[in-house]
Amino acid sequence: MRESIPDLNSGSSSQPLTIKIIGVGGAGSNVVAEMQRSDLGAIPALILHTNSRILNLDTKAQKMVLGARRTHGLGTGGDPEIGRAATEDQEEPLRQFCQGADLIFIVAGLGGGTGTGAAPVVARVAKDSGALALAVVALPFDFEGNRRTKQAQVGLVNLKSAADAVICLPNQKLFHILDEQTPVTETFAASNDLMTQGVRGIWQMLTRTGLINVDFSYLRSVVHDRHTESMFASAEARGEARVREVLDRLVASPLLEEGRVLQESSDVLVSLVGGPDLTITEVNKIMEQLNRRVTEGQLILGAAIDPTQTGCIRLTIVASRPNRDLAGQSVPELSRLSPPPTLKGEIEAPFFDELTVNLSQSRFKAPPPATTPENTELLLQQLNGQSDRTRRHSSKRLKQEMFNLEIVSKGRFEKSEPTIHHGEDLDVPTYIRRGVVLN
Amino acid sequence: MFETTPIVVGLDIGTSKVCAVVGEINDSGGLNIVGVGQSKSRGVRKGEVVDATLAGEDIRNAIVEAEQMADTEIRSVYLGVTGGHIRGLNNRGFHPVVSNDREITDDDVQDVIKNARAINLPAENKVLHVIRQLFLVDGQDGIVNPVGMFGASVAVDVHVVHGNLNRLQNPIRAVKNLQLEIEDVVFSGLASSLALLNNHQKEMGSLVIDIGAGTTEFVVYSNGIIKHTGVIAVGGDHLSNDLAYGLKVPLSRAEQLKIDHGSALVEPEIKGHTITLTNDLGIPEKTINLEHLRRIMSLRLGEIFQLIAKELDQSDLLSHVREGVFLTGGCSRIPGIETLANQSFHLPVTLGKTNSISGLKSALDQPEFAAAIGLARFGSFEMRKRSQEKPGLQTTITQTFKNLFGRS
Ligand SMILES: Nc1nc2c(ncn2[C@@H]2O[C@H](COP(=O)(O)OP(=O)(O)OP(=O)(O)O)[C@@H](O)[C@H]2O)c(=O)[nH]1
Ligand SMILES: Nc1ncnc2c1ncn2[C@@H]1O[C@H](COP(=O)(O)OP(=O)(O)OP(=O)(O)O)[C@@H](O)[C@H]1O
Ligand SMILES: [Mg+2]
Ligand SMILES: [Mg+2]
């Protein structure tokens, strides 16, 4: 914990993060255009497509038509080779866009020609320019046919080796939360929504100066491992039962496979955003319940207060689990991605169980960077102006400052000034900063 | 108490332990270590006092233990200070020679040093040491003593060590609260180098690296003078913290794993080796991949060396280090660390020995003691200097350092 009220400009990792978004292909362009209409519009965005019809898309994102020479703006005809070649022709402007970014989200739908062929090239360029390349991709519905499915799988393998991490959203998984009659366009809308929420959650987690900040390096370490697959889920709730509801909703997310993903994950990054009325008990309860779910791995918590969100809790997680399919990349991922639908209530233990809030502490848990209950307690006390240190300040001043209170949970180094050397936080393990994968 | 030989006490408030070393000045002016006191350090992080109460208790315990062993009463200490806020820099001062005949006098030398001291530092910074390097007369460099030479102008290079005043005050206050006098405050990296190096090594060019629990200090000598000093607030605690995070074990367990199974090198033959951790009941609870453990350590230690090498390379100093690298501090016990340092610096690497101090029993030749022993040595020089001085002539720390860190 910092000893003093930090000044606004001296964050722990010096400069603020620069984040950018690139949408690739038809799906990518649609999703990014949608993001740009939301609060995510604050993030510089670029959309890329082989089809010049993106030029008609009403968005403030920059646009770039790929391979006009090759395809005359008419698309790839579903051939990823064309998507790839067209992008490689235009790496230079792409590189310029990537310049200076710390993190680049690459959004696409896999299965067609453009997203499938171009996204790996975009990821490579992004990574070469020094950014963490985080791909968020939709995979086709089963009904779209075998060719798309196969093509998407090949694209996924390429993308996984080009990007730092790939977060997958198999459209098929949405099926059992939508009713049969839902038109395909609406299904896509639901899928777009989930991708937007995922990107928003990660963005907030990294950029909101929070109560407990999640260092960029930890995100890197959670998603970086080639041998894991990363998933995300997001949920929101308000009202009296909001803690219970936000947890229920989160675990009901189709992407978490009835909570199995949490169970099997080795690392789970949790981002919690609440209104100024968020209480210590609530933070603890959420963490306790997640802790019960994440039986194997480690939880890393980031928490922020959004002054405009009174009454609301939003929970976003990024989870990585060992990829059982990775050894045999030929195993069709999608066959696993559509689990036999179970009746939810049947297998679900009640997620929020008030009778068993006391966690057994038997398993190993690394102290950093997960926050300690004492730490959380302290910072929430500060929030309410109860701590000795903050009592001196007028409550008005405190209210403004509390959102900038930055508390990086750093285990052994909590009491000391962070060791920043030429802009690098040396308190973060070297192997993580170097992106070394322990496997 | 009248008959007792004069004693000097070095007090090192380290991140993992507080250490007090008592030395007696023998008849020939040399130093005999007659007592050591130690205490676990609980109020220090990254070399700086963060909890004055705990630090006070620990200092008291170390002092009491040293008093008992040396059978003496300790009234004053030479205090070591460190921390990420401490910086070293070289500065040059100029002075026109005023006398008609252009012969450089003692006064000119005093004036030029005064000018060299005048560096622009933020108000909250305090100069700890100004160490004289070499003089220039009319642009001709490499002059040890310009007095008596002829020239129109004289310049001097000095090495200045400074730090943040408020942060320096924390250990000072903790010591003063115990009713102990502070004879002088010394950058602990300099102290370690004093304990380790003889004149020949300073002359030939040496790099001393003290890797403790919270900080790593480094000092470069060449041609008998101090060229560079630095601190990186990274040490053995970082190794443990990295292991706790990477291996998902509690910090205390990580600390033990580091000591029991640690290495600076990842040797190919350890691939696949595991360590089984048991719980209190002896039941196996977790297996640790030895290769992961060592890779985490090797990357961290390698990074420390690379950061130092990079900083020294910028001022082209590594080529002046002909004698080699001397490692000390608790982390120099890590197996394989010499090899790793050799790979980073491409220089001969030795584990530093403090037994160049006369009378010191080899039992005290522990890398953890280097700073405290060096502080006592610093004190012995300063005492000798004082006793030689004619009354009325003021000792300056510059002169002390000239004797200590300069040519003898
Ligand atoms: N979430 C979401 N997925 C979409 C959308 N449109 C298409 N998809 C999915 O993304 C996959 C790829 O489709 P597109 O993005 O249109 O294809 P493309 O990358 O533009 O490739 P070509 O049009 O063949 O050059 C499809 O198989 C769908 O499963 C959309 O608007 N939202
Ligand atoms: N055999 C060993 N293997 C690995 N590490 C060791 C070993 N022995 C000691 N250490 C480490 O050395 C460190 C202590 O060294 P030292 O006593 O020089 O530090 P300090 O003076 O207390 O700290 P600082 O100078 O940084 O304030 C601890 O981190 C300890 O774990
Ligand atoms: Mg040290
Ligand atoms: Mg030390």
DSSP A5: -
Q: What is the ipTM of this complex?
A: 0.91
Q: Using alpha carbons, select from A333, A334, A315, A314 the residue that is nearest to residue A324.
A: A333
Residues A45, A205 contacting (CB under 8 angstroms): no
The answer as to whether B358 is a domain residue is no
Tell me which chain A residues have a C-beta less than 8 angstroms from the C-beta of B302: 430
Residue B383 and residue B356: Cα distance in Å, rounded?
19
Residues A107, A200 contacting (CB under 8 angstroms): no
Domain count of the fold of chain B:
2
- Ligand 1 contact, A418 CB (< 6 A): no
pLDDT tens readout for residues A65-120: 988 777 776 777 888 989 999 999 899 999 999 999 989 999 999 999 999 999 99
Question: Of B118, B134, B163, which one is at a domain's C-terminal end?
Answer: B163
pLDDT value at A331 more than 70: no
Q: What share of chain B is helix, strand, coil (3-state, %, to 5)?
A: 40, 30, 30
Integer CA distances (angstroms), A224 to A200, A320, A327, B336, in order:
19, 9, 17, 29
Tell me which chain A residues have a C-beta less than 8 angstroms from the C-beta of B249: 364, 366
Q: Using alpha carbons, select from A409, A8, A67 the residue that is nearest to residue A213.
A: A409
Q: What letter represents residue A418's amino acid? A: P
Task: Using the CB atoms, write b or e for A97-112: b if 16+ within 10 Å.
Answer: bbeebbbbbbbbbbbb
The answer as to whether B406 is a domain residue is no
Residue A250, sorted as left (phi over 0), alpha (psi -120 to 50) or beta, turns out to be alpha
- Given this model, what pLDDT does residue B360 score? 54
Per DSSP, the residues of B200-261 read HHHHH-EEEEEE-SS-EEEEEEETTEEEEEEEES--HHHHHHHHHHHHT--HHHHHHHHHHH
Beta bridge partners of A19: A103
* Residue of chain A with shortest Cα separation from B43: A415
Residues A152, A110 contacting (CB under 8 angstroms): yes
Q: Burial, A241: exposed, middle or buried (Cβ in 10 Å; 0-12, 13-18, 19+)? A: exposed
Instruction: Supply φ then ψ for residue B196, to 5 degrees.
Output: -95, -40
- Ligand 1 contact, A113 CB (< 6 A): yes
- Given this model, what pLDDT does residue B138 score? 92
Q: Tokens representing A316?
A: 């976003």
Predicted model pTM: 0.58
| Mean pLDDT of all residues in A183-211 | 79
Q: Which is the closest atom of ligand 1 to the Cα of A189?
A: 32
Dihedral angle of Cα A28, A30, A36, A39, to the nearest 10 degrees: -90
Find the B301 Cα to ligand 3 centroid distance in Å: 14
Does B248 sit within 8 Å of A364, measured CB to CB? yes
Residue B294 and residue B273: Cα distance in Å, rounded?
11
Q: Provide the 3-class DSSP secondary structure of residue A399.
A: helix
Q: Which residue has the tokens 């610096």?
A: B345
> Beta-carbon neighbour count of residue A172 at 10 Å?
19
- Given this model, what pLDDT does residue B308 score? 97
The answer as to whether B114 is a domain residue is yes
Question: Between vectors from CA A352 to CA A349 and to CA A358, what angle results, nearest 5°?
Answer: 105
Q: Burial, A327: exposed, middle or buried (Cβ in 10 Å; 0-12, 13-18, 19+)? A: exposed
Q: What letter represents residue A434's amino acid? A: R
Integer CA distances (angstroms), B384 to B24, B45, B130, B390, in order:
12, 34, 20, 12
Q: What letter represents residue A412's amino acid? A: R
Residue B74 and residue B251: Cα distance in Å, rounded?
36
Say which residues have a Cβ less than 8 Å from residue B179's Cβ, sequence separation at least 6. none
- Given this model, what pLDDT does residue B312 score? 96
Dihedral angle of Cα B366, B369, B371, B372, to the nearest 10 degrees: -150
Distance from first CA to last CA of chain A, Å, rounded? 32
- Given this model, what pLDDT does residue A231 score? 80
Lowest-pLDDT choice from A225-229, A323-327, B111-115: A323-327
Beta bridge partners of B8: B23
Tell me which chain A residues have a C-beta less than 8 angstroms from the C-beta of B309: none
pLDDT value at A430 more than 70: yes
H/E run at residue A48: strand A45-49
Find the B39 Cα to ligand 4 centroid distance in Å: 13
- Given this model, what pLDDT does residue A209 score? 59
DSSP B395: P
Q: Burial, B99: exposed, middle or buried (Cβ in 10 Å; 0-12, 13-18, 19+)? A: exposed
Q: Which residue has the tokens 């001085």?
A: B389
Find the B259 Cα to ligand 4 centroid distance in Å: 17
Q: Tokens representing B377?
A: 């040595």
- Those of residues 37-56 in B touching chain A at CB distance below 8 A are 45-46, 48, 50-51
Residues B206, B221 contacting (CB under 8 angstroms): yes
Count helices and strands (H / E) in chain B: 11, 18
Q: How do strand A132-139 and strand A103-109 relate by DSSP bridges? A: parallel
Residues B378, B391 contacting (CB under 8 angstroms): no
Residue of B46, B292, B303 with shortest CB distance to A416: B46
pLDDT band, residue A226 (cuts 50/70/90): low
- Given this model, what pLDDT does residue B104 score? 93
Q: Which is the closest atom of ligand 2 to the Cα of B370?
A: 18
Integer CA distances (angstroms), B80 to A75, A248, A337, A357, B21, in order:
71, 57, 62, 49, 12
Does A415 sit within 8 Å of B303, measured CB to CB? no
Beta bridge partners of B181: B76
Instruction: Supply φ then ψ for residue B232, to 5 degrees.
Output: -120, 125
- Given this model, what pLDDT does residue A214 score? 66
H/E run at residue B131: strand B125-137
Say which residues have a Cβ less than 8 Å from residue B352's Cβ, sequence separation at least 6. B192, B195, B196, B208, B326, B327, B328, B332, B367, B370
Which of A9-13, A122-126, A169-173, B139-143 has the highest average model confidence (pLDDT)? Answer: A122-126
The answer as to whether B153 is a domain residue is yes
pLDDT band, residue A316 (cuts 50/70/90): confident
A-B CB pairs within 8 A amount to: 90
- Given this model, what pLDDT does residue A345 score? 27
Q: Which residue has the tokens 């992004």?
A: A126
Integer CA distances (angstroms), B405 to A393, B158, B190, B219, B254, in order:
49, 12, 9, 11, 38
Q: Is A360 on the interface with B (CB under 8 A)?
A: no
CATH number at residue B251: 3.90.640
Beta bridge partners of B172: none
- Given this model, what pLDDT does residue A15 score? 60
Which residues sit with their C-beta closer than 6 Å to ligand 2?
B 14-17, 41, 47, 212-215, 235-237, 255, 258-259, 262, 329-331, 333-334, 368
Does B248 sit within 8 Å of A298, measured CB to CB? yes
Residues A99, A129 contacting (CB under 8 angstroms): yes
Give the pLDDT of chain B (408 residues) as one tens digit per residue.
Answer: 445 678 999 999 999 999 999 999 887 778 888 889 999 999 999 999 999 999 999 999 999 999 998 999 999 999 999 999 999 999 999 999 987 888 999 999 999 998 998 888 888 889 999 999 999 999 899 999 999 999 999 999 999 999 999 999 999 999 999 999 999 999 999 999 999 999 999 999 999 999 999 999 999 999 999 999 999 999 999 999 999 988 988 888 999 999 999 999 999 999 889 999 887 777 888 899 999 999 999 999 999 999 999 999 999 999 999 999 999 999 999 999 999 999 999 999 999 988 656 555 666 889 999 999 999 999 998 888 777 654 433 334 444 444 444 433
Tell me which chain B residues have a C-beta less than 8 angstroms from the C-beta of A438: 246, 289, 292, 295-296
Residues A151, A115 contacting (CB under 8 angstroms): no
Say which residues have a Cβ less than 8 Å from residue B170's Cβ, sequence separation at least 6. B48, B49, B50, B52
Q: What is the CATH number of domain A230-328?
A: 3.30.1330.20
- For chain A, give every residue range classified as CATH 3.30.1330.20: 230-328
Least Cα separation, residue B108 to chain A (angstroms): 40
Per DSSP, the residues of B65-119 read HHHHHHTS---EEEEEE--TT-EEEEEEEEEE--STT-B--HHHHHHHHHHHH--
The answer as to whether B310 is a domain residue is no
**Backbone CA torsion sign across A6, A10, A14, A16:** positive
Tell me which chain A residues have a C-beta less than 8 angstroms from the C-beta of B303: 426, 430
Query: Can you give the residue range of the structural domain that contains B241?
Result: 237-292
- Ligand 1 contact, A188 CB (< 6 A): yes
**Quick one: fold of A1-207?**
Rossmann fold (3.40.50)
Find the B368 Cα to ligand 4 centroid distance in Å: 6
Q: Using alpha carbons, select from B270, B234, B226, B244 the residue that is nearest to residue B407.
A: B226
Protein residue closest via CA to atom 19 of ligand 2? B212
Q: Which residue has the tokens 């030429």?
A: A422
Tell me which chain A residues have a C-beta less than 8 angstroms from the C-beta of B271: none
Per DSSP, the residues of A212-236 read BPPPHHHHHHHH--TTEEEEEEEEE
Does A415 sit within 8 Å of B300, measured CB to CB? no
Residue B106 and residue B114: Cα distance in Å, rounded?
12
Q: Provide the 3-class DSSP secondary structure of residue A139.
A: strand
Residue A48 and residue A122: Cα distance in Å, rounded?
10
Residues B391, B406 contacting (CB under 8 angstroms): no
Residues A73, A48 contacting (CB under 8 angstroms): no
DSSP A415: T
